Amino acid sequence: MNTEDPWSAVHGAVRRHPEYEQGCRHLAAGDAAAAAACFETAEQQSAPDDVYSNLYTAARGYARALLNDPAALNLCRSAARAERYDGDVHEYLAKAELHLQHRKQACEAIVRGLRADRTHAGLRQLRRQMGIRRPPVLGFLSRDNPLNRLIGRLTYRRGAGRSGPRKK
């Protein structure tokens, strides 16, 4: 249970809709059309104030994005705007943006998602795969400023963001 997330106790007590779980299995098997149908059913059968309603909407949007539906991003974006704590919603948005080749928006979705859930493994993995750089330590100075570079090196955790061997 995440102690920083005020919803963690609620999420632990509330189960996800069975249709959502089935949709996840379809996605894992590569059947986006069946997944989208399952996610839509979960979304329709859940109450608007359901803890996971944004998750169902974002999942449906991602599955439809895999089917190259131009309206899919609107579903993901509206769910992400309404979600404050669940990193999965932002992960679905980022993946949908990536699938439709919107790299900048995917980066923004990852950053917003990590603000909501700093420890979200999926978002962190996406960030590593995409190669998103950390923001400069001192935001009012340029990234290339020697002071920013020095403090950045001193505060950098070994292996946290580097994907290869260190350059000399």
Of 37-46, 55-64, 125-134, give the lowest mean pLDDT range: 125-134
Mean pLDDT taken over the chain? 85
**Are the CB atoms for 92 and 107 separated by under 8 Å?**
no
Q: Report the pLDDT value the prediction gives residue 52, as an integer from 0 to 100.
A: 92
Tell me the helices (H) and strands (E) count for the chain, helix number first. 9, 0
pLDDT at 163 over 90: no
User: What pLDDT is stored for residue 78 in this prediction?
Assistant: 94
- Tens of pLDDT along 71-106? 999 999 999 999 888 899 999 999 999 999 999 999
What is the Cα–Cα distance from 6 to 85, expressed in whole angstroms? 8
**Residue 4 pLDDT > 80:** no
Q: Is the Cβ–Cβ distance between 45 and 17 less than 8 Å? A: yes
Q: What is the pLDDT of residue 137?
A: 85
The confidence score (pLDDT) of residue 110 equals: 93
DSSP type of residue 119: T
| Predicted local confidence at residue 165, as pLDDT | 42
For the segment 51-70, the average pLDDT, to the nearest whole number, is 94
Tell me the pLDDT band of 9, cut-offs 50, 70 and 90: low
| Residue partners of 10: CB distance under 8 A and separation at least 6 | 51
Is the confidence at residue 1, as pLDDT, over 50? no
Kindly report the pTM of this predicted structure.
0.73
Look at residue 57 and tell me whether its pLDDT is greater than 60: yes
| 112-128 residue pLDDT tens | 999 888 899 999 999 88
Q: Domains in the chain, please, with CATH?
A: 8-132 (1.25.40.10), 136-168 (no CATH)
